[in-house]
Structure 1
């Protein structure tokens, strides 16, 4: 794999551009290591890049920072999602969603465990075989969970999954997308809008006990949610509710197979899953970066970011910052004081963090317990096109036996 040179002629913009290239998707971290030498850097296009853990943490919590980093007004959608909204609208939307989301997520561990068991049971074998961790577990698990939570009919899961996979490419920097990709994204957004409007209409006519029905028919003084906000929020939850978890499980599996001592420990100590998933979120996070814009001049790291600037927050670089983490390039499954940026921070901290943690903890523990002598078929595996939502496209794993769920592997 090509690594970067430490020569001075590499500017932050050049290093960042190299990190975004698909051939570096399996390991962008050498580029991040060099970018960390300048924790706040001005890019050639006038935007800014934050890589230091301390600097990113401060910016995520600074009220002078806006989550709105969308295109100019003439190119904007009618409504913004809570992901890019600021207070007070953000707080109102988040409260409405949390009121419906959190109670439904609590107590789901047994159901998630059954889903994982069923998915792996389909591949039980006393003989050597292969399992694609992405296609057979990491993808269907969170898709099924979020569809059940939101009330998406099972027969629609494949359509929704296809839409979500196509839309995630739109999260990447615009200069990494081709004209054909941009055109396809516009068509896919229109297709998603049409699908969501139909889904909302069906739930309006026949509400159930799902989250969508709850948002539509809430009796709380601040509910129900406005119809347009409902559609935008539903689209966000459908996509964000599973795409990041797919990568979290896949990246966690990769880390375990590359660190057999950690895998052996997890096999005999399921309690290790809790700190281990936190270390995956630090070491190889499913969301590599986020964006913000400034509402005022901000003095930070010896420089001033002017009002009206856009900032890319390179979360994955902050997670490898040696100023914050000892031996940051080493995977330590029980790392203490692990204040990673895997779920962001501040008022926009990931609303689905509890659910994602549960899904990853249960899935990785089951893989460790049930797969005998697992190994990577290809290392590195093929990676998806996405730079922001970074993870393997597929993850074939060999094994000598896939045991029933009886606690033995």
Structure 2
């Protein structure tokens, strides 16, 4: 079957002018579940087709399998494990998970609840005397950054250094060589090198020394799969440092924005603390922190929705579009924390299901619970708020709110 080409729709989705509300464009894109773009890539936008490819072993996560290498990835030597395929992906994920969650460290995340609550309480205490609060700068960013620095063993006082690097690396994710200056690509490449050099320096100090942080554990672990190389540890630490706070910043901020737009749900949450668990799941469907997985590669010709995607083609997975697919979710454009059938794509699916999902869920549950209880009649200063540039990791760059003095 020959696909209908819809490059204009995807261009409008990626354009910053659509950042505040891309959902009508996703609905337009879903009219062609597998849409070939004019650069030869394919955008998949419907729920069932996305689930199929997320579980399809013939679709590679390794960009080195693309027929035309992506800018900035042609020199990759030690990819992060999310950009690898089995068996290497499975080996590195197992080795990391030994120190992050079940079955070897089953209580790590749940055991952090007290510490997470203390951080949240301290940050909200800092709102005192402020006429206007920026949920991003004053809360949603410092909270997960503090947490992931503690887990990894990265000094919190170094945050200003790696914040600049992380921003430059993220900007490369949606780099377009036809429209964007090469400076963006050069800055991102340099930032990645600087971040890895920084993490490598921290790693050197961990070899042969006891400690509970993840860097130390990875540096000294001889588990069933052996020990990671220093290069593998550094790329894994870089992945966790970036993913461990960037997605959570968006999830918390999108969550607070959604609650302020639905004051009846905010009020319910104040009186029904247990509501926060399904509410966060609905947030992951309704306003997910990751909208697009921008690159997958076809190992061989694959067929999706009667469409043949040729070997080596770039495939873009439009996760946020799948989350609003009316063929899967009833009344998908309605925010409904009581939604019972909610197998969303907010953390992806398949073997690359978000590694840090359990921690991000707990952080967001605690954050929103305490915000709605302690903010006094909060209102949005601007709606829509200003958004970050990325269409991939989508969220407000600032979320200014005001609260009553009474």
Whether TM-score is above 0.5 comes out as yes
Q: CA deviation at 1:173?
A: 4.4
1:233 equivalent in alignment to 2:219? no
Aligned to 1:80: 79
Greater alpha carbon shift after TM alignment, 97-106 vs 279-288: 97-106
Confirm or deny: 8 A CA contact 2:289 2:395 kept in the other structure: yes
Distance in structure 2 (CA, Å) of the matches to 1:261 and 1:138: 22
Aligned to 1:244: 247
Distance in structure 1 (CA, Å) of the matches to 2:398 and 2:363: 19
3-state SS in 2 of match to 1:75: coil
Matched ranges for 1:365-384 at <5 A: 365-384=369-388
* Structure 1 runs not aligned, ≥5 long: 1-9, 403-409
Distance in structure 1 (CA, Å) of the matches to 2:137 and 2:392: 20
Confirm or deny: 8 A CA contact 2:208 2:220 kept in the other structure: no
Match of 2:288 among 285, 310, 329: 285
Distance in structure 1 (CA, Å) of the matches to 2:360 and 2:310: 36
Superposition CA RMSD, Å: 1.7
Distance in structure 1 (CA, Å) of the matches to 2:203 and 2:234: 8
3-state SS in 2 of match to 1:41: strand
Aligned to 2:165: 163
Q: CA deviation at 1:122?
A: 1.2
Aligned to 1:111: 115
After TM superposition, the score normalised by the length of structure 2 is: 0.93
Aligned to 2:334: 330
Greater alpha carbon shift after TM alignment, 31-40 vs 97-106: 97-106
* Structure 2 runs not aligned, ≥5 long: none
Q: CA deviation at 1:161?
A: 2.4
Aligned to 1:64: 58
Q: CA deviation at 1:191?
A: 1.3
Confirm or deny: 8 A CA contact 2:169 2:189 kept in the other structure: no
Aligned length: 391
Distance in structure 1 (CA, Å) of the matches to 2:337 and 2:160: 34
Distance in structure 2 (CA, Å) of the matches to 1:401 and 1:254: 21
1:341 equivalent in alignment to 2:345? yes
Per-residue CA deviations over 1:325-366 (Å, capped at 9, x if unaligned) read 111111112211111101011000000000000011110111
Q: CA deviation at 1:206?
A: 4.2
Greater alpha carbon shift after TM alignment, 134-143 vs 11-20: 11-20
Q: CA deviation at 1:309?
A: 1.5
Distance in structure 1 (CA, Å) of the matches to 2:110 and 2:230: 27
Aligned to 1:4: none
Distance in structure 2 (CA, Å) of the matches to 1:375 and 1:195: 41
Aligned to 2:90: 91
